[in-house]
Structure 1
Amino acid sequence: MSDGPVSSVSALSSMNTLWQARYGTRPPQPPLPESPVARCLMAHRSIRAFSPAALPDGVLEAAVAAAQSASSSSNMQAWSVIAVHDGQRRARIAELAGGQAFIAQAPLFLAWVADLSRLEQVGRTHDRALPGLECLDTFLAAVMDAALAAQNAAAAFESYGLGIVYVGGVRNQPEAIAAELGLPPGTFAVTGMSVGYPDRNHPTTIKPRLPQHVVLHRERYDTAVPAAADLAAYDERLRMARASQNQPARSWSEAMLARLGDVAALHGRERLPEALRAMGFRLDQA
């Protein structure tokens, strides 16, 4: 049986147990303060095998309400989200996003969109030119708005026992994705998200992250970190974690070298500036 919510042991564990799962080290002293919200966030794992069971009524709307409760730069609310339930459309998106079968498998796919078209409409309605829409900072604000909204929604879905995985593959062929979703000029799919109940026959574990002291700087950026020993230890942890999931035992450093050592590894995303300009974004105003 693979339908319905899954009660994850990690999701019910203490903050300190989740710390050990995430970092592979003893938790700090004094112990971390307990928080049901933080526990849910720390128990996150990407899901790539889904049950076909539909989402309960109202969960999508609750997640979007959570998304709209995220912070927004200057309250521009420069994002939209496209909910895709249709199986044939999800299958087409799966192919455009790199042949990722779980997109077609999950009952819901969400495209999180940086959306300046709505603000442009405000300018037209009031007969005002809005040169600020052509500034790089405005585009970045829209991307951040979309990302913050998506993460709030992800946390909401997981609180209902659902699983999610982000899909950066929507940026492989952004114009084709825009055509499939009917996006107007001035919009761009920042990321996708597949949502559904995790398939119990394909359990996943918490993925190790870099040690916290590597990313947490106090007062000023410490250029002395990360130390080579820190990265080597993390590489080994991630290699072992992947092997335990029957995945290629590749370290973080190996993955990053492969990802960034050849632009071909970006699968089309290297031409993103060209695509964005074709989709109505100037990005070159002072």
Structure 2
Amino acid sequence: MIQYLKIRIKRLSLLFAVPLFIELIIFLYAKISNNPDNILEYHGLWYLAATAIVCFVSTYQLIQNYYISHDILWKVLPYSKEGLALIDIIFYIVGTVIFGIVYQAIQNNISKQNFYGNIYIPEKILSLASFYLLVFAMCILFKNIQNPLLGRIFILGFCLIVIIAQISLFWNLNHSIIKSFMSGISNAGSVKNLVYINILPYIFFEVNHSQLNVLSHSSFMLNSLICIFSLVWILISIKFRKLNYIDLVG
């Protein structure tokens, strides 16, 4: 298992190495630039694009490895595919959080604003966990669909339905509080008003501290429920599944 972890770290680190290297270049350029405000704007756009790409690639890898059995290591190692998938999910979460912290730290350094790490980090971890566990649960749910294209459509389609339902429920619970908002993280200072609904970040404006606590509590409960239901389904499926002899022989 230790050797496998080393291999996965080496492979999955490539997904985050390029974004982190670009973050370093942006930071160094900001230090010698005479107009850091423009850098902040383009930095935010870059981060939005980079996180979208990381999310897409990591989701694709998770589906390919578990649903399609694309990774040969998953076929030959004497460990459950579910356990290996959870290891990958942990790597995805850790890498994405590190990338986000680096981005926020650079934004904070350039704009001279405070970075609310005690708000950002727990929210980010829970949101990523709710998303990846949901994708994993859908992979298990539709594992027996033999057509790969149809299976992918069902997996992503049902994930989208659940996320839309989660957003709708959040809105219905808090519509009297919500006045204005934007999707995405504009700068380091705005993190204090950050709320994650599944993997999607929202910044809420014109809310006081108590109202923000209500919004944060709602997102925490909804994301936690997604994590719990997904984990329960994963564990039930593992316990009652039938052996797939096709997988065993590769």
TM over 0.5: no
Pick 1 or 2: higher relative contact order, CA cutoff 8 A, min separation 6.
Answer: 1
Larger relative helix fraction: 2
Larger relative strand fraction: 1
TM-score between both structures, scaled by the size of structure 1: 0.29
